[in-house]
Amino acid sequence: MAKDTVFNKKATINAGGRLIDLSTPQVMGIINLTPDSFFEGSRKPDVELAVQQAGKMLADGALMLDLGAYSSRPGAADISVQEELDRLLPAVYAIVKQYPEAVLSIDTFRAEVAEAAIKAGAHIINDIGGGDLDANMFDTVARLQVPYILMHMKGTPQTMVQQAQYRDVFSEVFDHLVLRYEKIRALGVHDVILDPGFGFAKTAEQSYALINRLQDFDMLESPVLVGISRKRMIYGLLGGTAADALNGTTVLNTIALTKGANILRVHDVKEAVEAVKIWEMAKKNSL
């Protein structure tokens, strides 16, 4: 693709009546309401802890908070809809009450959970299944008229490791997203954010290949979210564990910014906000 190709990329989304400008990249903080998420430091299964974390992330510069109550790490145990709701809704209610200015995203692939969370005060649905894990998801999002994060994954969190087989990872991920993007747009959903799904049914090498082609997702003219924070694709390369992967995360987030990322979904908000500020200043003063 020619480097001077220009796409009319959508720069705003409407979240709960608030117009959010994504022409300047924004940071989404991760709050896991689970006891078993892959990065121990992100686990906030207690409502009070979740509210405290929300306050810290907002103070550090996060515009959005992504709340998840179902662990999607490889091989994670499946839980019922009711258990997911029991973990999620008290935190949503508490954060909305304490921080009404926060834009809340809900990390779920279940339409029932998505609808309950939006009615509780959340604003965005972040679906790791891209509509494939719940046949009612697209219709629910269209009825609720909320922004939708469309992610690529093959299989389920329990089976995705075995699904990391591609002839051409970019083409297959792109084509998969195109089909689902066209379907949900046809239902009247105006704000769709794309997520290539780094690490979901993808090896480290495949994930880096997608990072290398990230700018090409702009062909769909929608905002792009990058979620690589502390993942195995970083610490597997550098050594250590997720706890050691902050520096590598910042480096890779910066690369993603240079390739058009609009939202960085991270565990460490302060460092991501600083990366955005430095990148913006460098871009503003480029010759």
CATH of the domain at 154: 3.20.20.20
Residue 78, domain member (yes or no)? yes
Distance between CA atoms of 28 and 240, rounded to whole angstroms? Answer: 25
Distance between CA atoms of 251 and 74, rounded to whole angstroms? Answer: 24
Residue 258, domain member (yes or no)? yes
Q: What's the average model confidence in pLDDT over 261-275?
A: 98
Residue 128 vs residues 5, 148, 192, 199, 258: alpha-carbon distances, Å:
29, 11, 13, 11, 24
Give the residue numbers marked as catalytic: 231, 265
Going 237 to 27 to 66 to 130, the CA torsion angle's sign is: negative
Band of pLDDT at residue 287, cut at 50, 70 and 90 = low
pTM of the model as a whole: 0.92
Q: What is the pLDDT of residues 107-160, one digit of tens each?
A: 999 999 999 999 999 999 999 999 999 999 999 999 999 999 999 987 667 677
Residue 6, domain member (yes or no)? no
Provide the domain count of the chain.
Answer: 1
pLDDT of 162 over the 80 cut: no
Which pLDDT value is given to residue 157? Answer: 72
Residue 161 vs residues 50, 74, 140, 173, 174: alpha-carbon distances, Å:
29, 7, 29, 16, 19
Residue 259, domain member (yes or no)? yes
Band of pLDDT at residue 1, cut at 50, 70 and 90 = very low
Residue 107, domain member (yes or no)? yes
The answer to which of 27-41, 84-98, 172-186, 224-238 has the lowest mean pLDDT is 27-41
Q: What is the pLDDT of residues 11-52, one digit of tens each?
A: 999 999 999 999 999 999 999 998 765 555 555 568 999 999
> Please, which residues have CB within 8 angstroms of residue 47's CB and are 6 or more apart in sequence?
90, 91, 94
Which pLDDT value is given to residue 43? Answer: 55
pLDDT of 3 over the 50 cut: no
pLDDT of 224 over the 80 cut: yes
Residue 52, domain member (yes or no)? yes
pLDDT of 202 over the 50 cut: yes
Q: Do 197 and 151 meet the contact criterion of CB atoms below 8 Å apart?
A: yes
- Residue owning tokens 């304490």: 98
Which pLDDT value is given to residue 8? Answer: 83
**Which one, of 201, 214, 216, 206, lies nearest residue 264 by Cα?**
214
* Distinct helix (H) and strand (E) counts, the chain: 9, 10
Distance between CA atoms of 134 and 82, rounded to whole angstroms? Answer: 16
Question: What range defines the domain where residue 78 resides?
Answer: 12-284
Residue 7, domain member (yes or no)? no
Q: What's the average model confidence in pLDDT over 100-110?
A: 96
Residue 4, domain member (yes or no)? no
